[in-house]
A and B are shown apart, each in its own frame.
Chain A
Amino acid sequence: DAGVIQSPRHEVTEMGQEVTLRCKPISGHNSLFWYRQTMMRGLELLIYFNNNVPIDDSGMPEDRFSAKMPNASFSTLKIQPSEPRDSAVYFCASSLGLLAGNTGELFFGEGSRLTVL
């Protein structure tokens, strides 16, 4: 398996523009997470899906942020409109969860570095 695949790797946009980040989890994983990483706040969990259903989106900072998982192999994180304070590295991760026999390890993608000017 190629691992968790994220795109784009880098995105530079202007304030007010819409940003869409994409993620393909590892095949067979039933849990998908979106994290945001900044120097000040570290790794923050934004939203978590289990079997394509959003379970906890309490980490989504504002209504400008939305996430979808239309099927088991694809998820998007959208920011509309974007603001400079959204600049960060956004990681997608997938997992088999804490089911019997599974370790719960999170497999991260390479991340999408977003810069909002």
Chain B
Amino acid sequence: GENVEQHPSTLSVQEGDSAVIKCTYSDSASNYFPWYKQELGKRPQLIIDIRSNVGEKKDQRIAVTLNKTAKHFSLHITETQPEDSAVYFCAAPSGAGSYQLTFGKGTKLSVIP
């Protein structure tokens, strides 16, 4: 099955700085890489995803990059704001076309005002 490693487990940044969270995966057939945000006491929600046919995708202050050769992908948040404080999870499916997502252990991001 898929193995997803996520780093760091915790991250503190000053408001306005950038944050980067990295994930690696094991199944070279995986082709879909989403990121979920979970605020305290809430449900995880999708914030951005990328498919294997592109190397980068941006949506306002967040971006995701993918390196299929190295089997890693990263989440970049620029101009961080206090409301970005949450736990972020990366995920990968168990092979191409699979519906099952394996999640990383999560990164707790704290944005200090």
Contacts and interface: CB of A to CB of B under 8 A. Distances in A.
B100 A56 contact: yes
Contacts of B100: 33, 45, 48, 56
Given A91-B43, A108-B44, A43 B103 contact: yes
Interface in B67-109: 89, 93, 97-106
Interface residues of A, number: 23
A72 to B, nearest CB: 16
Contacts of A50: 99
Interface residues of B, number: 22
Among A31, A50, A103, A109, which residue has the most Cβ atoms of chain B within 10 A?
A: A103
Contact of A42 (B32, B97, B99, B106): B106
B46 interface: yes
Nearest to B42: A110
Given A48-B99, A48-B100, A43 B89 contact: yes
Contact of B99 (A31, A35, A43, A110): A31
A93 B63 CA distance: 25
Interface of B: 1, 32, 34, 36, 42-46, 49, 89, 93, 97-106
Interface in A78-117: 91, 95, 97-98, 103-106, 108-111
A98 B98 contact: yes
B102 A97 contact: no
Given A42-B103, A43-B103, A111-B43, A104 B32 contact: yes
B99 A105 contact: no
